[in-house]
A = this chain, B = another copy of it.
Amino acid sequence: MTASGGRDSDTARIETFSDGVFAIAITLLIIEIGVPHVVGTESLFDKLVRLWPSYLGYAISFLVIGTVWANHHNRFRLISRSDHILLFLNIVFLMCVAFIPFPTALLADYLSGTDKHRTTAVAVYSGTLAVTAIFFTILWLYAAGNYRLVDRAIDPLLLRAMTRRYVVGMLLYILAFALAFFSAAASLALIVILALIFVLPEPEGPRRRSVRR
């Protein structure tokens, strides 16, 4: 009897808690957008239009968190056991996900500002996503390495394809971070493309070793 046990129901519990954190983090994004205050003869419409970086940040982060949720959930369907290290890695990973509303608000406030501030904001934003991707990859490598916590019946080719997928994804998020220092637009575009790609189908393949024998 350990803090995370070692049974299927434990991974179910981790999933449910994680799903809650995802749903809340994604919905909290909106409260970072403040209603503009107009004075005198200012146009409310113009003020709302000038909030476009807030809407853009909201849309990108919503898409990113939604995609990360889908991938996280899928991975836990292959993970059949849990241990304390997985529990700990998952808490650290969720810590990154729940942090995303902060750099999103930062992006919204400074995307239309001076070049220097924009660079800082986009770097912090893409950097947060890169760190999130790094912890996701570590979590997966820990669980899948030597079939430590994944179902032993899964095809090793499939596991390897997934590992490749996550490592490449992680490297591209790090590239998005590096791009932030040259072009905010290029960095954000890469992030949107990555989110759209990761909603796409995963590498297919026979899921169970037995199938191949």
Contact = CB atoms under 8 A, between A and B. Distances in A.
A23 B20 contact: yes
A70 B44 contact: no
Contact of A38 (B31, B105, B117): B117
Interface string A88-122: 10010011001101100110011000001100110
Interface string A114-132: 0011001100100000000
Contacts of A27: 20-21, 24-25, 28, 98
A135 interface: no
A156 interface: no
A205 B73 CA distance: 32
A184 to B, nearest CB: 13
Interface in A156-213: 158, 198-202, 204-205, 207
Nearest to A74: B3
Interface centre among A24, A63, A200, A205 (most CB of B within 10 A): A24
Contacts of A19: 16-17, 20
A150 to B, nearest CB: 12
A110 to B, nearest CB: 6
A136 interface: no
Prevailing SS type, chain A contact patch: helix
B201 A3 contact: yes
B26 A21 contact: yes
B21 A116 contact: no
Contacts of A50: none
A28 B21 CA distance: 10
Given A3-B200, A21-B23, A24-B23, A120 B207 contact: no
B30 A99 contact: yes
Interface of A: 1-5, 13, 16-17, 19-33, 35, 37-38, 43-45, 48, 58-59, 62-63, 66-67, 69-71, 73-74, 77, 84, 87-88, 91, 94-95, 98-99, 101-102, 105-106, 109-110, 116-117, 120-121, 124, 158, 198-202, 204-205, 207
